[in-house]
A and B are shown apart, each in its own frame.
Chain A
Amino acid sequence: NAGVTQTPKFRVLKTGQSMTLLCAQDMNHEYMYWYRQDPGMGLRLIHYSVGEGTTAKGEVPDGYNVSRLKKQNFLLGLESAAPSQTSVYFCASSYSILGTEKNTEAFFGQGTRLTVV
């Protein structure tokens, strides 16, 4: 049981290049999230998904796109990378049971360290 796996773990991009970050979870979770974390700051939500085929914007969505074609995967895309997107990206997933707050904790991946030069 791997939990949440992020690919790749490190990447250096040139300004204007594109790339896709992959997040995979094997816990059959409905909810998946992409966060970014900049030095000395907490995590900020980029996009999230409440189920297969659905996505929604978080607090810092500009410059990113996402897709959730399969329940277990959540992809984060950068169409034209900018130096301001240099950050550590974390994916997370959680279960949801409406009407109760049991087993609703989020599980996080180990992060992708992206540098845009």
Chain B
Amino acid sequence: DAKTTQPPSMDCAEGRAANLPCNHSTISGNEYVYWYRQIHSQGPQYIIHGLKNNETNEMASLIITEDRKSSTLILPHATLRDTAVYYCIVRRGGVSNDYKLSFGAGTTVTVRA
């Protein structure tokens, strides 16, 4: 699976949008971009995933560049409860039965009042 690069930390003001970048320059055509987050000491929680089109759900939006070498997770209106470590993961999907996730260090996001 392709490796990802994320900034180690970032701050965000409550109520503002949080834009979390992820670089995955070695991504291949059948690899998906997944985002999970881990709120202090809890198990990771799925947020969103995508292949090449932008995706949106009730939690966030995922913007993937046209060349797929990077992506941005957008939390539209950050709240204090969004303070967490956010993981960007690239994983083969579709025809593969390899559903393992490889977690890096992630980005520690702190939402401030």
Contacts and interface: CB of A to CB of B under 8 A. Distances in A.
A42 B105 contact: yes
Contacts of B97: 50, 96, 98
23 contacts: A31-B99, A43-B103, A48-B100, A59-B102, A88-B41, A92-B44, A92-B101, A94-B99, A96-B97, A98-B95, A98-B96, A99-B94, A99-B95, A101-B32, A101-B49, A104-B93, A105-B34, A106-B36, A106-B46, A106-B101, A108-B44, A110-B42, A111-B43
Given A44-B103, A50-B97, A106-B99, A101 B45 contact: no
Interface of A: 4, 31, 33, 35, 40-45, 48, 50, 58-59, 88, 90, 92, 94, 96, 98-101, 104-111
Interface string B27-47: 000001010100001111110
Contact of B103 (A42, A50, A98, A105): A42
Contact of A111 (B32, B42, B105): B42
Interface of B: 32, 34, 36, 41-46, 49, 51, 87, 93-97, 99-106
A42 B87 contact: yes
Nearest to A44: B103
Interface of B is mostly: loop
A109 B100 contact: no
A48 to B, nearest CB: 6
A16 to B, nearest CB: 28
Interface of A is mostly: loop
Contact of A41 (B42, B43, B102, B105): B105
A99 to B, nearest CB: 6
A42 B106 contact: yes
A101 B100 contact: no
A43 B103 CA distance: 5
B94 A100 contact: yes
A107 B102 CA distance: 15
Contacts of B102: 45, 59
